[in-house]
Structure 1
């Protein structure tokens, strides 16, 4: 499994496109996509670089910049492909600006700025959802805080009013009640992060790489003590000091031009006075005095070894070469570390290298997960030897060329979106905020094209030959938690003088600093939210159809925003194709297919993928096993040849199977250590029983079956399920149906179905009669409890579920839902609580998840009971809730299908669930016709509290007495049972 660390640069955004980012910028990606290989000879590195230069030339984001008299800098990019505008506001304030005693303030204020302003006093998610915003959120890291949303063009005035109101008219709406509530939410966010396996890693990195007193030495989440000590005056002063327009960058990207942007930005932001000039603290790149080593213990499945070095940050000219070196060393499927330690010596189940790059300094991280049965010392010695060899010799020209092509290909795909967590708005904002140049991405790309092995080797030698920190995380009980970590520590010399001058409180003085007095409504009327203009309905792409000569059905939609094509070939298989005594076979088969074909071994397969700039990967769910290709449109033919070889000709070599078997067994062990994943495994069995869905939802199966599988097992599974008469082909992107069919015919047309009949799956197995109860899985020393609940519904995937989805949205399916607003925003017991509908081909399910502080576990279950029973009895959907649900679902449709990937997913749903081709274009009218009684009726039939089965994962010593007060039967098991 590849672990991708959080980046701030353009290159890193491309590499980290699948990662899950925390507020602190640390990210861990899912398993690395499968490698791929074209049926072409490798091109020389010089030719690859020429091709790369042509690709880079296509990566352009035209923009214009203007600055208001108050200092607000605005960047505008026009993209008319959809009636959407991405709005992104970036403040130059992060945790590095926090003075001693006030750690966590930047992140705490990010939360407070979602809780309403003087002229929009309610929760900001309410008006955002009302206008159909998509991809809306906010994040904080060491250097900056940002807020972003993508909205219909007709709603741009309303959103600019909201963003400007929290910039200039916030303090009157910040109350002690809101501070206390959001303090609790943030503290539960901290507990949630700490509660995960490897949850203390964030503290270990910053505390050991950056010296005491360094602005990066403390975690962005802060310390419990500092968060608890924050006063209302403290946080208001923090806002006055840091959130002026002169300390912000606004990006508008999408269906807007610069003239319109100037008029609207001036109207809404022009009256806000400048704030004080924010002084950035000195943030040097440290050098460790000597090699350091530390061993910690955690509830993890296997030993993980880390090697870390301080490195320059995003603004350094050395940033791009360092990231290219990290990619070649351990960031690709064919990386040096993978080939040596996973495929070669077989000492590790996974390896990775990457950079965690802040604005001013960063960390070069390498990690390796120990293969069960291997001595840790052997892996450490081999890892250090490979690192030393790479530092001495650097990447080869071919390794470097593959790294470059992979990065640019992923970047092109990412820039299809105008906003969200990535996309064009993020690229422009980072360039302006960190470099004073929105076009910095072009300079980084050109630097990347010109980079050669010698220059990269020299820079790596400059930093990676210095002292490093070695961390080992061993399985076991933690010896410390995170409650008392995350705060700033001041370092002094022998005379008592601070070694690093920490950020200081700086207070604005004089009339120009009185936001409440001077932020007058000179340019606009803020007495009410601006109206939403005429909205453009969704125009879902036409679905074209064809059939290959071997009978494979092809579904096609054209999207030409970027020069890429996505292809998915879905087989009616999935995890439910596994026999009950062989759970995990589909997953093991897919992992083994990543290891090569009859003609290409795993390394050759990976290398070919990287040369093409393509990405082939396999995945499954309960019902389908799918293989997906993301390819540059100019290289579609060899990429499809690769896909065909990957699907049709898996090798299933014995040595490859042993390697992926060890990886899957480790993942199963990891799943049993993860509170949410372990709870989900137990809950599925309780509610579905012997029904095909009563299996671990991850599909990893059980250890015994994975251990028993042989190459013959996988070959038989592949032959039984992966066959052309069991497949559907979906294509979306910058091509035509005629071209796609022609190329698919070349790659798949001669693939013939076997004589044996198609396999079938039996879903006529009854589910257990619901029996409300609680299964408590004991996980000692857990600061939070994970509450999971489920009920199987008498509905199938092909049924009409529009009203059901709307009812769930009100009760628990959105940020503003009753469950989340109760446990998070009112009680402050949880960072997030939700309910959802589990959509499958057969029986659907209603599910609830709440991660709550341990001492409120029982109370939280009682609150869930109150919300669910109230919703289906005397406290049904209100008029405001109905309006919000209707408006949000209607208005967000164009934003939901901005990208080719979203269109692909929509097309798959249309075909698999027997929807009409215009399904997504017609559901707007379905929502407009919703009534409160319709929602009440479907809620009464499906949200039956007395049928919910609970699984709680937490510390039984703390939690069990609370659960006894719920009135439900309680059974206790150990987590590893």
Structure 2
């Protein structure tokens, strides 16, 4: 867990000269020695003041007569507008007995409104919305989407309809359905390891009646008790225009915004004023230590205090202190507990800042075999030392540089800027509040951090220890009394409005021009330019991935990648972490099933030293024995944790069932591997793995930057041009293993005390990622991936048994799997599988794509293209996907025409030729005592497996 940074906008960055790290000499790969090498000189980037001084989001503000505050940020980079509505109400404003109402209303407001009775998600998807969602937290509820400019007026109509004309659409049936969906969302979170601990933290930290004492998701009992009239009163009291901020960010100006907001929002009546609940910062009378138990693999120890919130002078110093303590990759806790003493497998520290207060916490996950009491003493000693002596200026500089860089890199999305403006207006009455926060970060001193931590963290602390064992009792939703009928509510008088405006013609996406070049050693460069922000993103990609592991060496490749990132021949792991922080850069190495990639994200001002750092990581890994052993232990702890996680259990079980254990795809897509293999791998094994796959004759560079290619190429050449391939043979992957002929059956993995079951099923399709699968994937949008897909509409929107269901074609380079992911309430597991099978059989039989589904899908998919490549990260991923699947450079610009030409008959034929539910293998992770009888009733073969006990648990 690292210090969070919200998005802000940037007008420009001054070009600043930066030191350049010389590239390594032109040599082939030589196995590193075990002797520690001298540490390289620290890299330095541009002063943080140079970055912060240029951060700016120009805005205009006006208010309608009914009190609606409107903020406008004009940005013509793309023909899209972010529409973001923030209501000044959150869970802290809920009275006793009504916990969860703010979040429940978030769901109800997606269910349609009086003049647009269909699902808001359905209508906005058809309008081409991207980034469509809503969230609820202690202090606010927000709704947001980015839409093509021709769909803006339509979007404002829908947003105004659910602000002013909602309740007539909220029937008892709708309320009951969404209540069930919310309760399944709660079950889904509660079902995870450590999933119940946050409730305990809030109840211990805050006294009875305190606004922050209950969780945003609410209690099952309060959700059960919500009557129609109570729900209506909650809406009337809190969702008036005078309690909202509307932000329009993107392809719009103030004059147009005034015209449209008056037209669609002006007639909505002002509501009561919601004065956000006052909330003091409580101090515990005495320290509290609470021991909880859960089905977890490792003991976790945490400490938490209530501290001041947004706007308090101590808030930023506390956030900086949290980063120094456990938020930086080079944090004090990381260095002492994880790197040096190796008694914890993970640490973190965070200052969660809310409007009225914050929660400062730090934690350690006890390494298997370590003494929990000793870990607790050491983590407390690290904090005590930080409070006694304060942080160094260098630590603060690294925190602030990283904070500023993360904000700059978040500037590309119109909705990111909208959120920053809305937060400032809602919480502080000032859209420029983010500037004050940036200035506070830039000016913070070691003495201020020390003083704030001494003041607030010397008070009594809430300590929580979560140990492996039987989970405490779970409070389920009440069963509805048989035959019970809710008291009917009075009918709502609907107000007629003009029809919704039409959506104009949305132009085709203008994907950036793709350029190619090559380094002197032959590495190809695939480049596109994006000038919205001064950021460069680099992906150095290798034809490897999780599929590169031999069937008897699962986990070798990803362990090698982990160790690569923890030290080079000139920088140990601490120095590497500090170098990234000083530059505000992010260097990471990871893998998908088919590719391994070394990523760099950097502010262009600091690009040269950042590229040199990337080169050092890729070319000169030290594979230090101490780091190998540390990361080996961390991986083994992670494998133990996977045995407690529903998704990991299912993800390990399904691939070998449908691909076979010898196939490169017949293993967990996480790549974490096999415990016995991880224990046995030697340093020489990892060095040999690096030589086989991480080499220039197996590499390709993908780059998106605000710099032109002509300026970038010399920097890339300096970093990688003299890299030579080793003499050893390059790695190869073989996909010729025969696939098993699967038939419908169920594998039940018994996970006791699970309030929810995870259904995970599928088959290997007769297609590969390199095939033209557009018709098939578009058909599956109707069947499995859209919010109103057949399966999600059934299990979530009709039955209310799940928070969300998806059936996905995983586009792998070779034979692709179809995977259904359906978390459902435990007592509906068997019925859910029956419902899923029924939906697939009907769709693939006589009940294929309807005219309405085809129109909705085609319009949504084509209109959404304009917002699908808004950021350099999205463009970079498109470049990589085009290369992986053998697509032309203009693939994205051909999509609209091809999708528009699809017929329902073509979509049906593609789905029927590929998807066969009679071949689905179903994996269910749940409580067998509850689930097994349900599954037996389906008439399919059922195999029961036990969830293997974590071998490294304390």
Is 1:398 matched with 2:394? Answer: yes
Over 3 Å counting, the alpha-carbon distance change for 1:484 and 1:825 in structure 2 is closer
Question: Structure 1, residues 410-436: CA drift from partner, whole Å, max 9, x if none?
Answer: 1101111111xxx10110110000000
**Which residue matches 1:387?**
383
Q: Deviations over 1:809-866 (max 9, x none)?
A: 1011111111001000100100111100111111101110111000000000110011
Whether 2:604 is the aligned partner of 1:633: answer yes
Do residues 128 (structure 1) and 124 (structure 2) align?
yes
**Shift in CA distance, 515/154, structure 1 to aligned 2, threshold 3 Å:** farther
Superposition map of 1:182-193 within 5 A: 182-193=178-189
Q: Does 1:85 align with 2:81?
A: yes
Query: Given the alignment of the two structures, is residue 752 of structure 1 paired with residue 724 of structure 2, yes or no?
Result: yes
Distance 1:656 1:699 in 2: 20
Deviation per residue, 1:173-216 (Å, 9 max, x gap): 11000001001001111111110111112202211111111011
Contact conserved, 2:2 with 2:323, CA < 8 A, in 1? Answer: no
- Mapped to 2, the partners of 1:756 and 1:478 lie a distance apart of 52
Segments of 4+ moved more than 3 angstroms: 4-11, 37-44, 482-485, 514-517
Matches within 5 A, 1:405-484: 405-419=401-415, 423-483=416-476
User: C-alpha separation between the residues in 2 aligned to 1:38 and 1:292?
Assistant: 46
- Conservation of the 8 A alpha-carbon contact between 1:616 and 1:629: yes
1:168-183 to 2 correspondence within 5 Å?
168-183=164-179
Q: Which residue matches 1:577?
A: 548
Q: CA RMSD for the aligned pairs?
A: 1.8
SS of 2:400's equivalent in the other structure is helix
Asked if residue 907 in structure 1 is aligned to residue 907 in structure 2, the reply is: no
Query: Which of 182, 192, 196 in structure 2 is aligned with 1:196?
Result: 192
Q: Equivalents in 1 of 2:178, 2:355: separation in Å?
A: 27
How many Å separate the matches in 2 of 1:97 and 1:561?
39
Q: Within 2, Cα distance between the matches of 1:548 and 1:95?
A: 55
Q: Report the secondary structure of 1:297's partner residue.
A: strand
| Structure-2 change in CA distance of 1:633 and 1:39 (3 Å) | farther
The SS at the match of 1:268 is: helix
Is the contact between residue 38 and residue 641 of structure 1 (CA under 8 Å) also seen in structure 2? Answer: no
Q: How does 1:308-319 map to 2 (within 5 A)?
A: 308-319=304-315
Distance (Å, rounded) in 1 between the aligned partners of 2:412 and 2:595: 27
Report the CA distance shift for 1:533/1:10 in structure 2 as closer, same or farther (over 3 A). Answer: closer
Secondary structure of the residue that 2:576 maps to in structure 1? helix
- 1:730 corresponds to: 702
Deviation at 1:54, TM superposition (A): 0.7
TM-score (ref. length: structure 1): 0.91
- 1:43, distance to aligned residue in structure 2 (A): 7.2
- Asked if 1 retains the 8 angstrom alpha-carbon contact of 2:191 and 2:754, the reply is yes
Corresponding residue for residue 672 of structure 1: 643
Work out which of the residue numbers 260, 269, 273 in structure 2 matches 1:273.
269
Tell me, yes or no, if the aligned pair for 1:200 and 1:482 is still in contact at 8 Å.
no
Looking at structure 2, the residues matched to 118 and 272 of structure 1 have their Cα atoms a distance apart, in angstroms, of 14
- Find the aligned partners of 1:316 and 1:85 in 2 and give their Cα distance: 33
Aligned with 2:423: secondary structure?
A: helix
Kept in 1, the 8 Å contact 2:691–2:728? The answer is no
1:458-517 Cα offsets, whole Å, 9 max, x none, are 1111100111011011112202225489xxxxxxxxxxxxxxxxxxxxxxxxxxxx9977
Equivalent pair of 1:169/1:516 in contact (CA under 8 Å): no
What is the CA-CA distance between 1:144 and the residue it aligns to? 0.8
Deviation for aligned residue 1:42: 3.6
Corresponding residue number in structure 2 for 1:560? 531
Tell me whether 1:624 sits opposite 2:617 in the alignment: no
Distance in 1, matches of 2:884 and 2:790, equals 32
Contact 1:561 1:734 (8 Å CA) reproduced: yes
Query: Which residue number corresponds to residue 940 of structure 1?
Result: 912
Aligned equivalents of 2:217, 2:6: Cα separation in 1: 18
In structure 2, what is the equivalent of residue 916 of structure 1? 888
Q: Equivalent of 1:964, from 936, 945, 948?
A: 936
Say whether residues 1:597 and 2:597 are aligned partners.
no
Partner of 1:890: 862
Task: Determine if contact 2:2/2:328 at 8 Å carries over to the other structure.
Answer: no
* 2:146 matched residue in structure 1: 150
3-state SS of the aligned residue for 1:89? Answer: strand
> CA offsets per residue over residues 599-648 of structure 1, 9 Å max, x none?
10011111111111111001101111100000111111111111111000
**CA offsets per residue over residues 331-355 of structure 1, 9 Å max, x none?**
0111111111111111111111002
Aligned mates of 1:116, 1:588 — CA distance in 2: 48
1:225 Cα offset (Å):
0.9
Question: How big is the shift at 1:10?
Answer: 7.2
Q: What do the CA deviations read for 1:880-932 (whole angstroms, capped 9, x no partner)? A: 10001100110001211000000000000111211111100001111000101
1:545 & 1:38 partners in 2: Cα distance? 38
**In structure 2, C-alpha distance between the alignment counterparts of 1:821 and 1:909, rounded to whole Å:** 30
Number of residue-to-residue matches in the alignment: 910
- The aligned residue for residue 924 of structure 2 is 952
Secondary structure in 2 aligned to 1:467? coil
Aligned pairs for 1:107-122 within 5 A: 107-122=103-118
Shift of 1:38: 14
Contact 1:7 1:355 in 2 (8 A): no
Distance 2:329 2:426 in 1: 33
Alignment of 1:192-341 (within 5 A): 192-341=188-337
Cα distance in 1 for partners of 2:491, 2:884 equals: 56
Give the aligned partner of residue 34 of structure 2.
none
Stretches of structure 2 that go unaligned for 5 or more consecutive residues are: 10-36, 479-489, 950-954
CA contact (8 A) 1:108 1:182 kept: yes
Q: How does 1:721-870 map to 2 (within 5 A)?
A: 721-870=693-842
Given that residues 183 and 477 in structure 2 are in contact (C-alpha distance below 8 angstroms), is that contact kept between their aligned partners in structure 1?
no
Match of 1:660 in 2: 631
How far apart, in 2, do the equivalents of 1:115 and 1:967 lie?
36
CA distance in 1 between partners of 2:648 and 2:858 (Å)? 33
